Structure 1
Amino acid sequence: MVTPEKTASAAGLRLANIDALRGFVMVLMLLDHLRETWFVNYVVTDPIDANTILPIIGYARFVVSFCAPIFVALTGLGVYLFSINHTVEETTAYLLKRGFLLIAIELAYLSPLYWGIVPQPTFWLQVIWCIGLCMIALSVLMRLPRPALIGFGLIVVGFHNLLDPIRLTQGDALFPLWAVLHQRDTIALPFGFVTKTTYPILPWLGVISLGFGIGNWFRPDVAPDLRQRRLLLLGFGMIGGFIALRLLNIYGDRPWHVVDGDAVRTIISFISMTKYPPSLLFLLPTLGTGALLLALFERINASRLVAALAVFGGAPMFFYLLHLTVLRIFYHSALAIWGPNNGKAYMFDSYGWVLVWYVALIVPLYIPTAWYARLKRRRRDIVWLKYF
């Protein structure tokens, strides 16, 4: 007999594993942003040139590549779970408010964090901007029947690489729109400002739609065993599809190649896929691994690891803004104290120092994030807290 207590317990496990996965990718994100802060003398192009890249950077990049796809998919899933207990109108209002807020944060706060480092004031249209636009679009897409929404997501994710040959240039009528949708580029603005479309949104629209589309797997009335079987099949299927398609080397990303006499660099070539915009082969293993981790975290939910990760995942926007702000303060402090040691920048000459900082910052960043996560749970009467 299924009692209310058992139902509530299952729901807690179901939601905690989502927070744990979200927290997992946030912790990984810290490693990438530390590299950008202290190790920018090794600029990571996209895709990585396996012949020249520092091997540890090549492997580290692959690890952190899981962050954006999983987080965007979880955003769609989270919206579905929100919609269960809210009307379509309430969900639409939430998506529009949150979407425009994220865009404002990207333009008014996150981009200026980098001014003084880049040669001219630049508005970086990165992942927060991208998620904001995707949420606004999802306010319309979610009204589609579920099969149509999933079909839309599959078509966009699976076939958007067919659009790669389309390249527009400054002066073309549709260049700004295409740069936002599918072509990572720079758009000139008045008064000497520029904007860089780091995260073209079209493929991400497919990802957030698929995240919303599988949301009914996480309804309270779905048995955990059934949900986990579905997630395992989905995860292994996507990873298997990636391996098969990558070996064929005919579609989904730029070809990989064998580096003569160097197995390490050959592997780097195989796992180096295009992120801007994310290729089909970039999304298959990252989203597939995300599905496997969702199943795993639900099965080991009682562990301390899952509980700790769920803290980061319970306040993701707070952690995102906090760690980027802390890294900017550290960087400018180091630059002011010691001055540039590589051109106009201050940076480490060994990636090992990036790892040292990574370990050193986890606990200090965990403490305020845990406080804020508890505040969100305790003060549900403060409406604006749910947007951060």
Structure 2
Amino acid sequence: MVDDFLSSSDLSSYSDNCCDRTPFRSASAIAIFLIVGHNLFDNVQAEQLGNIGWIWTILHEQKMIEPISGFRLFILYPLIPWIGVMALGYAFGTLFEMEKERRLQLLINIGLSTIAAFIIIRATNIYGDPNPWSIQSNFPNTLLSFIDCHKYPPSLLYLLITLGLAILLLYCLKKTKIRYFKPLIILGQQPLFFYVIHIYLIHLTAILFALYRYGIEPFTFSQVGISWKPKEFGYDLPIVYLIWLLIIFLLYIICDWFAKYKKKHRGKWWLNYL
């Protein structure tokens, strides 16, 4: 969808800048090495590395660290292989230098090949995810076990299925009338801003719902990490979906405002990172 909103000169400049900063072959090599190879180190634990174990946690484990006495930090997103995913994004950008038909053909080929690779590798149950799947009492549960892949850090298989589906979705969006997907474009053009805002918006929404339903309790302002909660805490799935739609709608309004703000203040360089 990028080329539908950029002029040919802008697109050329975008591609040139990407290529200047991160050559295609280097970006591809980094991406493949980190994404495909990082599961080789699943058995390496921070505790095995002594005083420098916290560095390994930042790179490849999701856990609490204490690099300095009295200072604790929870690592939610280990760097590896997300750096590889970023490098893959730079390499993937070269597709937008191609003719439209060639690009569409590559999108569907890459998407289908990636999903096929997920199915084949996952079926072997040998490599690609620290959590092996198993046959359950019925097919739906077996299917859930099959697709239940490790996200923090994202395993090779997790990235294959999610990126494969995303690429197929991109192909489908390119084949349809783009005006119907303007809300998705608005959200996608402010990725970091969307991410930061959604954390606080969801937390604020949870606080408001908790206040309305339970009043001021120990869990009202911080549901994360609180072991004691009432038995009926939370809502049924239909209500959760309604809340989700409400949050998406609010995020669209906020991101639409921010997109207009960026357009009016192009001289502020820091806005490009949001």
TM-score normalised by L of structure 1: 0.60
Whether contact under 8 Å (1:180, 1:201) holds in the other structure is: yes
Whether contact under 8 Å (1:170, 1:187) holds in the other structure is: no
CA deviation digits over 1:234-279, x for unaligned, max 9?
110010011111111111112101112x222111101100111111
Q: In the alignment, what sits opposite 1:270?
A: 146
Q: In the alignment, what sits opposite 2:206?
A: 331
Whether contact under 8 Å (1:81, 1:215) holds in the other structure is: no
Whether contact under 8 Å (2:18, 2:90) holds in the other structure is: no
Structure 2 unmatched ranges of 5 or more? 220-226
Structure 1 unmatched ranges of 5 or more? 1-9, 17-79, 92-141
Partner amino acid, structure 2, of 1:147: R
SS in 1 for 2:36: helix
Change in 2 beyond 3 A, CA 1:350/1:296: same
Partner amino acid, structure 2, of 1:255: P
Partner amino acid, structure 1, of 2:191: P
Change in 2 beyond 3 A, CA 1:15/1:275: farther
CA deviation digits over 1:108-133, x for unaligned, max 9?
xxxxxxxxxxxxxxxxxxxxxxxxxx
Q: In the alignment, what sits opposite 1:343?
A: 228
Matched, 1:359 2:206: no
In the TM superposition, residue 229 of structure 1 has moved relative to its aligned partner by 0.9
CA deviation digits over 1:30-82, x for unaligned, max 9?
xxxxxxxxxxxxxxxxxxxxxxxxxxxxxxxxxxxxxxxxxxxxxxxxxx974
> 2-side partners of 1:331 and 1:11: how far apart?
35
Return the structure number with greater relative CO, CA threshold 8 A, min gap 6.
1
Q: In the alignment, what sits opposite 1:256?
A: 133
Among residues 165, 171, 184, which one is paired with 2:43 in the alignment? 165
Change in 2 beyond 3 A, CA 1:334/1:168: same
Partner amino acid, structure 2, of 1:379: H
SS in 1 for 2:73: strand
Whether contact under 8 Å (1:14, 1:218) holds in the other structure is: no
In the TM superposition, residue 208 of structure 1 has moved relative to its aligned partner by 1.2
Change in 2 beyond 3 A, CA 1:159/1:316: closer
Off by >6 Å, runs of 4+ in structure 1: none
**Further displaced range: 356-365 or 272-281:** 356-365
> 2-side partners of 1:283 and 1:87: how far apart?
24
In the TM superposition, residue 282 of structure 1 has moved relative to its aligned partner by 0.6
Seq. identity, %: 30
CA deviation digits over 1:288-319, x for unaligned, max 9?
11221222222224341x21210111223333
Alignment of 1:367-386 (within 5 A): 367-386=253-272
Alignment of 1:275-314 (within 5 A): 275-304=151-180, 306-314=181-189
Aligned pair count? 258
